[in-house]
Every structure is written in structure tokens, then in C-alpha cells.
Structure 1
Amino acid sequence: MSLTNKQLSTIPIAVYTAKGELQQLKPALNEGLDAGLTINEIKEVMVHLYAYCGFPRSIRGLQAFMEVLDERKAKGIEDETGADASPINDERSKYDRGKANLEELLGRPITGPQTGYAAFAPVIEIFLKEHLFADIFDRDVLTYAERELATISAISAIGGAEPMLRSHLAICLNVGFTAGQLNEFVDVIKSTAGKKEAKAAQSVLNEVLKNSQ
């Protein structure tokens, strides 16, 4: 099974947002809307990405999207707004919610003492659980799979974050992407982010697929 048109159009949107290439982003946004992405789904991709490429790139992407929507409206194009995020009705702490979401993404329980960067700077591990994996991942405008596709697109475009890309590609397999779809993803990275970025992504993907067998 191949990536859907909506999935294929998400990758360039995430890549160009992460790289701050707004002139390339605008046609990608038009293509995404034409492929069936709703306004709220695209907005959510850009909000999601601030956790990976920062507020400046995310906000500039949103500003470019506003311009695209104005241009389409002036042409008489009415795009679907789409659903808003559902209210959160969960009594657990944000940390516990985030930990549970991350365990679902990873497909395994998280146990034992903190190690590595989480032990070195414990506050960032708290921010990750409470904000990224609770506040953001709990928003159901996008599925986990849709969020992970945006994530690996942004990380591949940014470059130099192969350990994070490795983790998220493994998550992609756990949330339902196939090896073929992830290789297709790398092809889109080559045509959007560039050959160097695609080569790095392919190398990490090959490693992840080998370890998953």
C-alpha cells in the first residue's frame, strides 16, 4: 500500500515549514488543500511542528498559510475548515497522560530510572511528557500516525538529529506505516529537502528496518 495523497502532501508542508522556505511552502499548501487536507489539519501540522523546529518557523508557516487561504478565497475557493480538537476529559496528571501516550507510540512500557539527557537535564524530560506528549499529542485533530509523518519530515529536513529520527521512524512502524511507505517517504524527502537529507534519512531507515526484523 502506498502513502495516500493527503499523506504525500503533508511531507512537503512539514519540510518547507521546518526549513523556513516559504516560497516553496505556498504551492505545497495549495496542493495539500487540493488533496483533501482540511484547514484545521494543516494548522495542526504547523502547531505540532513548533516542538521540533521552534516557534519562529511554525509561526512563519502559519502566516504563509493565512496568505494562501486569502488568495484562494479571493478566487472563490471555499476550503473545508475541519474538526476542532475535542475537549480533554482525563483526570490523570499531564505527566502521566504524556507517559501513557509515549508508551503507546513506542509499543512498550517505560520503566527504570532516567538515563542520558533525561538524567542530565530532568526538566526537559518533564516538558516532553507534559507538553509534547500530553498537551500536543492529546489533540485529536491529527492521528498519531499523521503527527509522526509530520515529525519525521521536519527532523529529516532539519538534519543532524539522526538519533531522534531513528526513534520516530521506529514509532512510525509501530503506528502502522509499512517499510514501503517509509521508503516512499524518503523519495519525497529527496525531492523536497534535498539529496543529502534523503541520503541521511535512508541510512537511518535502513538501520531501523533491519532492527525491526
Structure 2
Amino acid sequence: MTDKFMRTTILSLTLSLLACCGTLLAQQTDTLSLRQQSIVAIAANTATGNLENLETAFACGLDDGMTVNEIKEVLVHAYAYCGFPRSLRALQTFMQVLDERKAQGITDTVGRDATPVNDSRDKYTRGAELLEKLSGAPKNAPKTGYAAFAPIIEQYLKEHLFCDIFERDLLTWQERELATVSILSALGKGVEPMLKSHSAICLRQGITEGQLHQMTEMVNGMK
């Protein structure tokens, strides 16, 4: 066997191996991680009020490495999309799960708090800027639709949702949007325009179409 033939053979095998690794990597990145699956399950079951499934989702999230504060943040985030009653019941259920795990000798990691935000600008400006980065929509675009019809709700959205909530760094923007789409999917009929717009933001934030499809299958399986 000549040196040239050996080099060619080794090169071919190397390229084949790299191709296989590339395909495997692509498949892996097109699948939700365990952390992302936990966020989907927690957010969706919070929206529907399925407390029994929520208990399981909490346990899975903790076992897969989410901290107590990160899970609490998913539940706090959820109230903006499915209301205080669902969010508060989820928080109460989470407290119960933590007490039960503690009684079983399980020590769950509390984790860090959100990093303080040092920005003296007004909340509306900060929220508008964040929403522009999140969605790509110009922050100074003319107000239309509900924003023109009821300007105060647009103010609340910018100041509270996209400033007070999205500025908290316990979850990434991608994770918050994944939670949002999971909640809207679980709510189902009547929120289609919001689901469409937040799905687009998810894609913009790096979630793939395959991951969105997996999320939809997960949520549908919980109903």
C-alpha cells in the first residue's frame, strides 16, 4: 500500500467522521435540552392549572439542574401571560413540592438572585429598547392597533413586561420566549396572533423550527 493511498484513505475516513459528527451535532441542536424541556413543561402546566403535572415538572426541573430561583422566575414570568391566579397557584404548588423534597432529605440548590440593574433611564425607554432588540421591530414605529386604541396598555407592556421582567437575568431572553410560547400554546384558541409573533421572536432568539415543533408536541401531550 503506497503512502499516497494511505493518506487518501485516512483523509476520506476523517472527512466521513467529521460529516457524521456534523450531522449528529445538527440533530442535537434541533432538540430541546433537558433544561428547555423543563421550562416548557413548567410554563405550559402553569398556564393550564394542571397542578398534578406541575408537581412532576418541578421535580424533573430540579433533578435536571434548575435552581429553585430559576423555576420561581419561570412562574413569575408566567403571570404576565396567563394571569396572577395561575402563577400564584403554581408558586404555592412549588412551595409544597420543595417541602416534600426537604422532608425526603433532598437538598435543592436555591441559586443566585437576579443581578441588580444599574440603569437610571426611565422604564418606558429601557423597555422599548429591549423589545426592539428582542423582536427587531423599530422602537419608534408609529403606534397602531391596540397600542393606538389603548395607549396605557402599551405603556404597561414596555415599562413592566419588557423592563421590569425581561431585564431580570435569571432566565435568558431565549428561555423567556420559549416559556411564553409554551404558555400561549397551552392556552390554545383565541391567542393565535400572539403565539405567531412570539414564535417568530423565538426563532430570532435562536430556537429552531424543530425545537418549536418539539415544544408543540410536548404541550399537546399535556392537554
Match of 1:17 in 2: 46
Match of 1:161 in 2: 191
Distance in 1 between the 2:147 and 2:130 partners? 18
Distance in 2 between the 1:52 and 1:113 partners? 24
Match of 1:170 in 2: 200
Deviation at 1:138, TM superposition (A): 0.5
Distance in 2 between the 1:24 and 1:185 partners? 16
Among 207, 214, 219, the alignment partner of 1:184 is 214
Secondary structure, counterpart of 2:97 in structure 1: helix
Match of 1:198 in 2: none
Tell me if 1:6 matches 2:39.
no
Secondary structure, counterpart of 1:77 in structure 2: coil
Q: Percent identity?
A: 59
The letter for the 2-side match of 1:47 is V
| Unaligned segments of structure 2, at least 5 residues | 1-28
Q: Tell me if structure 1 keeps the 8 A contact 2:113–2:170.
A: yes
Deviation at 1:67, TM superposition (A): 0.3
Q: Tell me if structure 1 keeps the 8 A contact 2:69–2:110.
A: yes
Deviation string, structure 1 residues 177-213 (Cα, Å, up to 9, x no partner): 11111111111112113xxxxxxxxxxxxxxxxxxxx
Match of 1:83 in 2: 112
Match of 1:209 in 2: none
Distance in 2 between the 1:171 and 1:88 partners? 24
What TM-score does the superposition give when structure 2 sets the normalisation length? 0.84
The letter for the 2-side match of 1:170 is A
Match of 1:53 in 2: 82
Instruction: Report the RMSD for the aligned CA atoms in angstroms.
Output: 0.9
Q: Tell me if structure 1 keeps the 8 A contact 2:38–2:57.
A: yes
Structure 1 segments (4+ residues) deviating >3 Å: none
Count of residues in correspondence between the two structures: 193
The letter for the 2-side match of 1:180 is G
What TM-score does the superposition give when structure 1 sets the normalisation length? 0.88
Larger gyration radius, structure 1 or structure 2: 2
